[in-house]
Amino acid sequence: MSFVPHTQEDIKQMLEAIGVSSIDELFRDIPLGLRAKSFNIPAGRPEFEVTQILHKLSLKNGIGLINFVGAGFYDHFIPAAVDAIAGRSEFYTAYTPYQPECSQGWLQAIYEYQTIICQLTGLDVSNASLYDGGTALFEAMMMAIRETGRNKIILDSGINLIYRTMLYTYTSNLSIEFVEIPVVHGQSSRKDLFKHLDNKTAAVIFQNPNFFGAVDDYSDAVNEVHKFGALAIASVYPVSLGLLKTPGEMGFDIATGEGQSLGIPLSFGGPYLGFMSAKNELVRQMPGRIVGLTVDSQGSRGFVLTLQTREQHIRRQRATSNICSNEALCALRAVVFVSLLGRDGLVELAEHNYQKAEFAKEQLLRLKSVEVKRSSATFNEFTVFLPCNADKVVERMIEKGFACGFPLGRFYKGMDNYLLVAVTEKRTKEEIIAFIDNLKKVL
């Protein structure tokens, strides 16, 4: 039975129980100017009423906005089973499974996660997860530098600026030459790429779909990259792989991405999940850990940490990375999410995202002052040109209950009137139409 204080006697008993004589003594470490003037604690209420009150208060934070923002992080539906399974104490209290004899459940979960990432990306081997999409991309780049012995990296400017900034920041004290190639009509410029490719190139990095939402088939570019002995790296949006060519099908050597869209809530920016997969021949360059499947002395199936390439283990100065932990709980959410969907479910999810985005494009075409960029195919995110500053439109749309997109001028010079719009399976027909109607009023 919960105890809710109502009287001065109740408060006195509580203070005595914790060993202080007064409220002033209880809060003596707080400056007077910051203390509450009074403590008018209302009587207790039923759980349902309290939940309603807290929900109304939370709406003041803008979480009630109808979300059309993407830019690398997406508002997808998460089945209740994901929370239920990830919330089991044997999972959320577990640390890295160093001792296989008492960690078979965790090890198997990570093994299944690795298997799913390999199936999603079409590549041979996956590690046991990384911090986020940007960290994973950095680690992939360093893999290429170690493998080739070269230090030139060609970056597509359609890669998320957050990721590019991370690459520059992490390598600020390293002798690495970066070359950024432009995006032309939303897609990578093959002409500029081929011009910069040479025998000093360690890797070329692409993103699919890129930051503008444009989808590309990089098979031709990857073939050209390989002619110079360089590696090709792709940063991918995992949900899109339900419809698009996989990195493996396009010939990429390494694939990375942000796993937030696989059952992980937006949560004001984290924690998130970095995934990575690669061709077999690169397995000893991979950071972090890899869980393997084996049999014990009695012939029973078992799971064990197979490769541990960090400096705290036997690798020491030969470690491939200083990644000291993995995002195992987030990886567990991802494997539960994908397992619940299944192969056909993932395809259906991807189709819903694509079709709803196409419907939103059609509705936007009703607005004569708005131009939908159609020079490239897209998945569930696309770029529109507005007749005025996109930042101001975003502000006005928030007042009407919509987070209407990401203003590209914040990341790209000269694009102040461009807005990046994302549509996921959560957006209903009614919400999309209301979004268009309110955008028309604002414009």
Tell me, yes or no, whether 373 and 394 share the same domain. Answer: yes
Residue 187 is assigned to a structural domain of this protein: yes
Amino acid at 73: F
Quote the longest CA-to-CA distance of the chain: 83
Domain span at 265: 80-338
Q: Are residues 424 and 323 in the same domain?
A: no
Based on the fold, state whether residues 13 and 152 are members of the same structural domain: no
Task: Please name which of 226, 316, 229, 254 lies closest in space to residue 126, comparing C-alpha atoms.
Answer: 254
State yes or no: pLDDT of 2 exceeds 60: no
- Split into its structural domains, the chain has a count of 3
Quote the strand ranges of 279-380, DSSP E: 289-295, 301-308, 371-372
Q: What is the pLDDT of residue 8?
A: 81
CA proximity to 411, closest of 163, 194, 43: 163
Is residue 13 domain-resident?
yes
Q: How high is the pLDDT of residue 316?
A: 67
> Nearest 5°: CA angle at 402, between 213 and 63?
105
**Amino acid 308: pLDDT:** 76
Model confidence pTM above 0.85: yes
- What CA–CA distance (Å, rounded) separates 100 from 104? 6
CA dist., res. 252 & res. 244, Å (int):
14
Residues 213, 319 share a domain: yes
Asked whether residue 49 is domain-assigned, the answer is no
Does one domain contain both 95 and 189?
A: yes
CA distance 128 to 326: 7
- pLDDT digit string, tens, across residues 141-157: 999 999 999 999 999 99
Strands 381-385 and 418-422: what pairing?
antiparallel
Q: Does residue 312 share a domain with residue 410? A: no
- Determine the pLDDT at residue 38: 76
In this structure, the answer to whether residues 282 and 321 fall within a common structural domain is yes
Residue 169 counted as domain residue: yes
Same domain for 242 and 106? yes
| CATH code assigned at 320 | 3.40.640.10
* Same domain (yes/no): 186, 332: yes
How does pLDDT run across 206-226, given as a tens digit for each residue? 999 999 999 999 999 999 999
84-141 pLDDT tens trace? 999 998 888 777 777 888 889 999 999 999 999 999 999 999 998 899 999 999 999 9
Q: What integer is the mean pLDDT of 188-204?
A: 97
Residue 129 lies in a domain: yes
